[in-house]
Structure 1
C-alpha cells in the first residue's frame, strides 16, 4: 500500500503564495477579510483550521476565479486533518453487523 505524502495545511498556501502575490501584510489581509490579526495569524502558522466561515471569507475576498472557492479551501483542510488523524492509526472499533439483503 502506497503512502500518500503529508498534504500541506491550507494556511501554508495563504502564507507562502497568496499574501506575497498580493503584496499584503498579515494585518492588511486580516483587515480585508474582516477578522482579527491573531485569528488570521493562527491559520497562517498552522495552529488553527480553515473554518467554513473563514472559507467563505476567503471566497468573497479572492473571488472564485482566483482560487477562492470555499469548498476547495475546506477540502484542503479536510485532507490535511484526515492525514494527520491517520498518522495516529485507525481507531479500534467493532465492525458493524452485515446488512441483510
Structure 2
C-alpha cells in the first residue's frame, strides 16, 4: 500500500478555504454571486467558506461545473480532511477504536 505523502500532523485544507482564499479573490466575485452561479443559497456558500459545512458529492459537481476542476478533486480534499479529523478523534480516545479480528490482524 502506498504511504500518504502528506504530513499526517498537518490538518488538510478544507475546500472552502481554497474557495475563500484563492478562487473568489482571483475571480473578483462575492459569496452571493457564487451562490447564484452554483444555484444554492448564500447561507450554504457562506457555511462552506467558513468551513462549517462539508462539500457533498452534489456540491462537488456544482463547483466543478461552475469553477472547474473535477468533482473527484473537490471530494478528495473533503475526504482527506474528514479522515484526518476522525484519526485525531481516535488518537484522543483510543479505546473508542474498533477491535481487530485476530485472524486478520496477523495477516
By how many angstroms is 1:76 displaced? Answer: 0.2
What TM-score, normalized to structure 2?
0.81
Give unpaired runs (5+ residues) of structure 2: 1-6
Give unpaired runs (5+ residues) of structure 1: none
Further displaced range: 13-22 or 86-95: 86-95
Per the alignment, residue 38 of structure 1 pairs with 43
* 1:5-84 to 2 correspondences below 5 Å: 5-63=10-68, 68-84=69-85
What TM-score, normalized to structure 1?
0.85
Q: Which runs of 4+ in 1 moved over 3 A?
A: none
By how many angstroms is 1:97 displaced? Answer: 4.2
Question: Pairwise CA RMSD of aligned residues?
Answer: 1.5
What whole-Å deviation, never above 9, does each CA across 1:50-75 have from its counterpart, x for those lacking one?
Answer: 00000000111013xxxx21000000
Count of residue pairs the alignment pairs up: 94
CA distance in 2, matches of 1:94, 1:31: 47
